[in-house]
Amino acid sequence: MTSKTYEPISARRVAFLGLGVMGYPMAGHLARAGHQVTVYNRTISKSIALCAEFTGDSGQKDAVNYAETPRQAVAGAELVFCCVGNDEDLRSVVLGADGAFAGMRSGAVLVDHTTASANVARELDGRAKELGLHFVDAPVSGGQAGAQNGVLTVMCGGDQAAFDTARPVAMAFSKAFTRLGDSGAGQLAKMVNQICIAGLVQGLAEAIAFGDSAGLDMTQVLDVIGKGAAQSWQMDNRGKTMVAGQFDFGFAVDWMRKDLGLVLDEARRNGAKLPVTALVDQFYADVQQMGGRRWDTSSLIKRLK
């Protein structure tokens, strides 16, 4: 993990729900920033493992505790962070007798980092308001490496006051934490992000496959064109690994298909035309059929070789 400098801030009592490849390091950054963190994860062994990292000689003993239900985890927390898999996973940890909303104190804020639908964000925002709580939809970009290094880009939707409460604490794992509008705006912005990525990765895959077929040294070509108008994050970070046939860099094809499903559902509702995105989604389905469900998204090039 890259060393991160944390801004001086008053310690808060917070909760984190969901310790997957993103949530686990995000919760760790909150603890390292000096906050008292209680975590919940469906597989309790991950909660225990995170707690073990903050015991012994680290000087942060008891910085992380765990609970067996979301309701227990959020008791007394000023801020609750969440990062789970999809709409239904989100409802399962937020709603119901053992859900977060049942245990949050009046005025507390739930910040959801799940990439989910704009509809579920609005649904949970409405429910939060009924209960005297606040909800911010805040999906992230930056992948597993961004979470580990504490440099995620976070796109937020929700009330200004709730956003202002969450932002200083969330900067423990973020490089940018930006409000883009009312409830649902964060999820819609993440959909824009995924549309851009889908097209860029397919274009890069085709370019590399073309260059290989033409007999070019594509490592050298990428060095050259990466200094010009073709440059992109995808080229800088995935171009040479695509040339090398390496596809183990975090954000999996299964997750991208889930995200593109959300995009295409929203496009059907709002009338946006996304012909390239729909095509790339089908290309990712081909990669899944090839056995690449856990390969990272740059594995689109496998279809072309």
Active site residues: 190
Closest CA to 54 of 43, 75, 39, 69: 39
Return contacts of 261-264, CB within 8 angstroms, 24+ apart.
262/115, 262/116, 262/117, 262/187, 262/191, 263/191, 263/194, 263/195
Closest CA to 25 of 44, 56, 4, 43: 4
CA 19/CA 30 separation, integer angstroms: 13
114 phi and psi angles, rounded to 5 deg = -65, 140
DSSP strand pairing (152-156 vs 140-141):
antiparallel
Contacts of 251 (CB under 8 A, 6+ apart): 143, 144, 296, 297
Element (H, E) at 261: helix 253-270
Beta bridge partners of residue 109, listed in sequence order: 79, 134
Burial class from Cβ neighbours inside 10 Å (0-12, 13-18, 19+) for residue 84 reads: buried
